[in-house]
Chains A and B, each alone.
Chain A
């Protein structure tokens, strides 16, 4: 493994809708980061990523998104992941 491993969750965008999704313990795609499976073992993380990439009919661009484990499940380890998890930080026009 060339790059330093950073624990995280498998994340991607939903193929049909485009929204952010995460993989949970059962290998299903869910909407909430806190419901995602937390992966802190490089070998397992890689296996899960392969699993995700084997589902091109469901998701696009799967990757290991950096996360930490909080009391209610995984939490974003970078501000980009925080925005991905919570949506735009601004009020959308007309809303």
Chain B
């Protein structure tokens, strides 16, 4: 299993110590808020609507049982007994006191964790497939590359003053579970004539100007990864617009210059940078690959699981949603839902975190992952252990069988926490989840991705939802825009706005009309909402959203 180096540990400690002094200087008045703010943001500390918020990195979503226990302890000692897992594979603590944050950061450092580069104009936490290292459809484990990128980008001297934040995502499987083309740089592991390399995409991003990344290279050899990334960041660092915060992201640079021109700029940077890398990075990579080598999984029988499925309907329902194929046929990848109907999506109590840690320890090689869909993954579970695991999860309230269904919603914190919000997201997600469960329609509707953001920044990926919901402030009243047809996978698409927004209380009825229309329109029970939408186009769905509403109003 991967362990941070002594150098990394020392760096994290030094940074924690430095931040402790910065907090002390802020509290004794030697630093103004203007001076302190960039320092606290560099350490993942935001000031939100009701409290500070500490954003802790979970690099490439990988976390072990010990670290999960420590997060539970931090939640209990310095927060309100829970944490919020985010679409960027981070965890956020919503209620820390400024005076306690240095202690929290020390407690994180005790287990090799930190909050560095989770915020600010830095190269952020590289995100990846939460099934990495376990999925049956994997070409190569993306995490050694993600870790290499992390080491290269952390405190990189040339990139301390970037025009804006920079997000890289990497996917190693055939299915894209990391939404790579929604990132500044998206890397897809590909294989060409037996050689592993990357398909490189650039210029994706959400926010107020959503864009899907364009292909920059169809095949980049592994050895060229860092110099090529450096060339991309350098080209943007020079050309990126610093005059306007809203035009500073690389997506705008690529859009304004065109992908050809941008590609030429990157290629012009590349030879000198390539020459400067003398192979040390490849030695590190070889070492990382060894550290990320898959755990040794003893052969286990799986017949007992098949037999249990035949007799236990609850297990069967849960397994149908939560169990995915592992590269070892005796094993499975388990997705634990953090979306119990009516609960805030992505929140886990400290008890739940401890239970997950304990189960990972007992059944799962001590490994856990956080998915960008705000759920927790146990990547290596023997099929023979699935019935026992399910029972334990059920007792802990963590066996909701809704992965991929209507209630498996991504929602940003919205106005219940976020200082930038223009409307709430969490209560809408809660109501959608319970509403369709209570109607008994959730199973029938089947595969559906609803994603909700509380403002145009799009932290909830609403553009990528089959149904996206964007909360806005229209003349002092919450108003929600609905987009249709977004897709976060390898067939990525941006949702299109369906029409005028809905008031808070109108959203659920509108969704019900929309989904009932889908049930009428679909060819058969296996055609998903997205497939039906793609076959028919948005018109019949808009009709359901608006014309029906007008008819109702007219009656």
Contact = CB atoms under 8 A, between A and B. Distances in A.
A77 to B, nearest CB: 8
Contact of A16 (B97, B350, B478): B97
Interface string A18-42: 1110000000000000000000000
Given A79-B476, A90-B344, A57 B49 contact: no
Contacts of B82: 92-94
Contact of A17 (B29, B33, B98, B351): B98
B427 interface: yes
Contacts of A94: 80-82, 349-351
A88 B416 contact: yes
Contact of B47 (A57, A60, A79, A87): A60
A73 interface: no
Contacts of B351: 94
Nearest to B32: A56
B545 interface: no
Nearest to B96: A18
A5 interface: no
B343 A93 contact: yes
Given A15-B98, A16-B27, A87 B33 contact: no
B27 A15 contact: yes
Contacts of B478: 79
B193 to A, nearest CB: 51
Contacts of A20: 49-50
A84 B97 contact: no
B344 A93 contact: yes
A23 B463 CA distance: 40
B119 to A, nearest CB: 16
Contacts, number: 79
B477 interface: yes
Nearest to A84: B49
Contacts of A57: 27, 29
A43 B416 CA distance: 33
Given A18-B47, A78-B476, A90 B427 contact: yes
Nearest to A59: B33
Contact of A92 (B32, B33, B48, B80): B80
A79 B349 contact: no
Interface residues of A, number: 24
Q: Chain B interface mostly helix, strand, loop or mixed?
A: mixed
Nearest to B95: A18
B99 interface: yes
B415 A83 contact: yes
B145 interface: no
B153 interface: no
B62 interface: no
B219 interface: no
A59 B347 CA distance: 29
Interface string B116-129: 00000000000000
Given A15-B27, A16-B97, A94-B350, A89 B416 contact: yes
A61 B47 contact: yes
A50 to B, nearest CB: 15
B42 interface: no
B52 interface: yes
Contact of B417 (A17, A60, A88): A88
A19 B415 CA distance: 15
A87 B51 CA distance: 10
Contacts of B477: 79
Contact of B29 (A16, A56, A84): A56
A19 B50 CA distance: 5
Interface in B324-354: 343-344, 347-351
B130 interface: no
A54 to B, nearest CB: 12
Contact of B50 (A18, A60, A95): A18
B51 A19 contact: yes
B426 interface: yes
Contacts of A15: 26-27, 33, 98
Residue from the set B49, B344, B477 with the largest chain A CB neighbour count within 10 Å:
B49
Contacts of B416: 83, 88-90
Nearest to B426: A90
Contacts of A60: 33, 47
Nearest to A15: B98
A12 to B, nearest CB: 10
A67 to B, nearest CB: 13
Given A56-B32, A90-B344, A93-B349, A17 B47 contact: no
Given A13-B47, A18-B51, 5 more contacts: A16-B98, A18-B96, A20-B49, A80-B415, A89-B416
25 contacts: A13-B47, A13-B51, A15-B26, A16-B99, A17-B51, A18-B50, A18-B51, A18-B52, A18-B95, A19-B50, A56-B29, A57-B27, A60-B47, A79-B473, A79-B478, A80-B421, A83-B416, A84-B49, A84-B50, A88-B50, A89-B415, A92-B82, A93-B348, A94-B81, A94-B350
Interface of B: 26-27, 29, 32-33, 47-52, 80-82, 95-99, 343-344, 347-351, 415-417, 421, 424, 426-427, 430, 473, 476-478
6 A-B pairs closest in CB distance: A18-B51, A88-B416, A18-B52, A93-B82, A94-B349, A94-B81
